[in-house]
A and B are shown apart, each in its own frame.
Chain A
Amino acid sequence: MEHGGPSGTTGRGSRRQHLREQRERHGRGAVAALPVEHPREVATAAGRVTVEIWGPPGVAPGRSQAWLPSFACPLARNALEWILRGEVRAVAELLVVPHTCDSLQALGSQVLDLGAGGGLPAVTFYHPRTLDPAARASFLRDELRRYRAALEQRLGRIGEEALAWAVERHREADRLARRLLDEGPREGLSEPERFALLRRREWLWVEDQVAAFRAALERPALPPERFGDRVPILLSGIVAEPPGLLEELDGAGLRVAVDDTAALGRRLPELLPPATGEPLEDLARRYEALGPCSTRTGDLDARIARVVERARRAAVRGALFVIVARCEPELFDLPALRAALREAGVPSATIETDLEAGWPAAMGTRLEAFAESLGARGGAR
């Protein structure tokens, strides 16, 4: 198989354009994936680009209203709307549904069993949630094998060599993305641009991710004295949406020093375990090295300890939780996390998003008030 190098679209173009180029220039189809974590390496090994569906924000509810009650979470609602409109089928030949929560479980079953996908094939991936490490490890490896077989059934044979290559390239992308996230602002790259680049992992071909992150890392790191007077904060929640959130933070005089969002920070291992040469084993070990996340359950105290430790290490002055409305996994952890941060001297605030198209004024008022309480000097917009 020809794995191919970077396709040249290193994150400057649009998602749709990238997918079109991948298809037309390299003959690579696409696999769509619902949030959050899923073994994207397997789809890469099958020669497919993975495009993740985080909402998308701003999709007006239409046909999905006939399928979902009014209290469905906006992420599931918007995703189903997107699927029902045929937008997913237009770009992807398969839908991957990781078992992130009850809402996405139901969405997957509606697509698979009740025809909500209009014939769009789908494959699920189950996250082991037991606290028993041996049972967890064993199930994870079995589930990865099953997942690979399920993708092979839909996309054709996935050879060992291709899988080894995909796993290795994603490890490289992981390493670079983690550096780009942790090392902070870069010369000539605004903070919103840096985070937008990191989130292009959600749809770029892996070699393009590597090239884009390398290019960004070639820019000198900005020394702390040039961070300006922006107040460092920890950003948590599921995803940094609605669009414009990072610009608003920047404008309010806040700087994300720690990203604990499920979409980004929690999906990047801080330390990758050494490669074993067995691709599925490497995949499993990478998964096990991921930080705790409400969507994969695990131990709440471990999550609290990690968040507090990272907040202390980065000397953040506040924490902002961006909550996707009605997101149960995240909402259960919130009171304990906020209490622990408060004890550590880190005040926190929450803003709730319905994954709107734009930036709601009420959210802006809340953000400004929080920034002011931290002594941030806004008005840089």
Chain B
Amino acid sequence: MTVWRRARHLLEARLAGPAVLAVQSRRRLAKLARKPAAPPFGPPLRASVALRGLMERYYLEGRTADGARPVAWITSGAPVEVLRPLGYYVVYPENHAAICGARHAAQAACEAAERAGYSRSLCSYARTDLGTLFSRTTPVGRVPKPDLLVCCTNICQTVAGWYRALAHELRVPLVVVDTPFLQGGERPHDRTYVRRQIEGLAEAAERAARRPLRLAALEETLGRSQETAALWGECLEQGRRRPAPWFGLESFLYMGPMVILRGTPEAIRFYRALLAELRERAERGVAGVEGERVRLLWDNLPIWSELRRLSDLLGRFGANLVAATYTHAWSDCADLMQPGDPFDALARTYLSVLLNRDLATRARDLAAMARRFRADGVLFHADRSCKPYSLGQHGLREKLAREHGVPGVVIEADHSDPRDVAWEATANRLEAFLEGFAPGSGR
């Protein structure tokens, strides 16, 4: 790591960059104050400006990070708390791929990966990530090269294949934190196994960073993650209000800091502000969707390329997504991140994430969520790119309807690759489902 690179990183990412972004944020806030609401949606959240600034600063830091500080590429569900005290800049390829999807850059990236031999039936996040690597084109400017790859299998086995391919392409050490699927619950040897691997991750991260990991710093980071998760959970709980004070599709965007900045003071500050704003809106009776008539849950990742059209469609029916299993998954861990034995807390937390649990647990959680949020129905996104989330949804839908009287509809699409989203067919199916709740309101 050269002195020049460190100096440049300090200047761009810590001094000049944030100063410019702060000016931009002030301008955006002023513009937002003048912006009228766009019915049927409620007024935009002030936190949207902070969110944008936070994400821009994160990606700005990344542009000059390699060579200046250790860099790790890591799956969204990996124990990042081990890396933060060692000064890592952490890249989340899934988040980067989601941004590519939302900014309509995913298709070109996927095609670049396909030209390199990666099948179109592979996860579109993986293809987007590999494609941006091959094409060196990304809407975030530049993604720094990693010193370490960290893959945790608690979200899918796809990431194991994806990160093996990355390790091969980049010639970078890979640590796999393998989390046995909790079919029927956790067994005693599961946690021992995961804990041992997280300890191994700490050793590998220390080697790559050439610094020792201080236990006190790890505990502090874990505490911050816990606080972030708890605050995020509180934000999501606001969806229980009737009407819900924000539009649920937005929560997919607002979970960004929970994913990429958990364990940092910035994330805590952001969610405190968001929570305060949501509470204030709730007190004033501000609705995410004016005249809220239908309250829905969402199961699975969003369709990043179709957020706008999906919002418009739901808005036409006065329908709000008051909760989503995907966004709530990031708050569930708050109770598990208990201080005392950080490695055990991390093992317990990362072993128990939503997608690492069996369908019986998911069915129970979904039913409980429908009750707590007084949901009228569930939108199941059968996501071509996420098999562990999607295979089983038909059975969940059936069970929820039969045992709890909550109807659901399954729509097939893809979280990132627009070629696998047949919008007309999706819209047609959604409209027919929503007509059942609010007859005649869609046209």
Q: In this assembly, does A134 line the interface, its C-beta being within 8 Å of a C-beta of chain B? A: yes
Q: Give chain B interface residues in 360-379, CB to chain A under 8 Å.
A: 360, 363
Instruction: Check if B358 sits within 8 Å of A69, measured CB to CB.
Output: no
Instruction: Check if B382 sits within 8 Å of A69, measured CB to CB.
Output: yes
Chain A 104-127 interface 0/1 with B at a Cβ cutoff of 8 Å (1 = within): 011111101111100000001010
Please measure, in the bound complex, the distance between the C-alpha atom of A304 and the C-alpha atom of B169, giving whole angstroms.
13
Instruction: Check if B177 sits within 8 Å of A139, measured CB to CB.
Output: no
**Among candidates B123, B160, B184, B391, residue contacting A72 with C-beta atoms closer than 8 Å:** B391
Please measure, in the bound complex, the distance between the C-alpha atom of A60 and the C-alpha atom of B261, giving whole angstroms.
48
Q: In this assembly, does A78 line the interface, its C-beta being within 8 Å of a C-beta of chain B? A: no
- What residue of chain B has the Cβ atom nearest to residue A64's Cβ? B394
Interface size on A, residues (CB 8 A): 56
Instruction: List chain B residues, Cβ under 8 A from A114.
Output: 359-360, 363, 392, 395-396, 398-399
- What residue of chain B has the Cβ atom nearest to residue A73's Cβ? B387
The size bracket of the interface on B is 35 or more
Instruction: List chain B residues, Cβ under 8 A from A99.
Output: 180-181
What is the minimal beta-carbon distance from B279 to any residue of chain A, in angstroms? 37
- What residue of chain A has the Cβ atom nearest to residue B155's Cβ? A102
Instruction: Check if A332 sits within 8 Å of B161, measured CB to CB.
Output: yes
**Among candidates B121, B168, B394, residue contacting A336 with C-beta atoms closer than 8 Å:** B168
Q: In this assembly, does A276 line the interface, its C-beta being within 8 Å of a C-beta of chain B? A: no
Please measure, in the bound complex, the distance between the C-alpha atom of A334 and the C-alpha atom of B167, giving whole angstroms.
14
What is the minimal beta-carbon distance from A320 to any residue of chain B, in angstroms? 16
Please measure, in the bound complex, the distance between the C-alpha atom of A143 and the C-alpha atom of B381, giving whole angstroms.
34
Please measure, in the bound complex, the distance between the C-alpha atom of A99 and the C-alpha atom of B392, giving whole angstroms.
16
**Among candidates A124, A135, A300, A336, residue contacting B193 with C-beta atoms closer than 8 Å:** A135
What is the minimal beta-carbon distance from B360 to any residue of chain A, in angstroms? 4
Q: Give chain B interface residues in 374-407, CB to chain A under 8 Å.
A: 382, 384, 387-388, 390-396, 398-399
Instruction: Check if A107 sits within 8 Å of B183, measured CB to CB.
Output: no
Please measure, in the bound complex, the distance between the C-alpha atom of A72 and the C-alpha atom of B385, giving whole angstroms.
11
Instruction: List chain A residues, Cβ under 8 A from B177.
Output: 130
**Among candidates B162, B180, B387, B412, residue contacting A102 with C-beta atoms closer than 8 Å:** B387
Given contacts A131-B174, A146-B189, whether A126 and B158 have CB atoms under 8 Å apart is no
- What residue of chain B has the Cβ atom nearest to residue A128's Cβ? B178
Instruction: Check if B183 sits within 8 Å of A108, measured CB to CB.
Output: yes
Instruction: List chain B residues, Cβ under 8 A from A336.
Output: 165, 168-169
- What residue of chain A has the Cβ atom nearest to residue B196's Cβ? A135
Q: In this assembly, does A229 line the interface, its C-beta being within 8 Å of a C-beta of chain B? A: no
List 30 interface pairs A-B (beta carbons < 8 Å), by A numbering: A67-B394, A68-B394, A69-B394, A71-B384, A99-B180, A106-B391, A108-B183, A113-B358, A115-B395, A116-B395, A124-B183, A129-B157, A129-B178, A131-B176, A132-B196, A135-B197, A135-B200, A138-B192, A142-B192, A297-B157, A297-B160, A297-B161, A328-B158, A328-B161, A329-B161, A331-B119, A332-B161, A332-B164, A334-B119, A338-B117
Chain A residues in contact with chain B, CB under 8 A? 66-72, 76, 99, 101-103, 105-110, 112-116, 124, 126, 128-132, 134-135, 138-139, 142-143, 146, 294, 297, 299-301, 304, 323, 325-326, 328-329, 331-336, 338-339
Q: Please give me the 3 A-B residue pairs with the lowest Cβ-Cβ distance, nearest first.
A: A332-B161, A335-B117, A106-B391
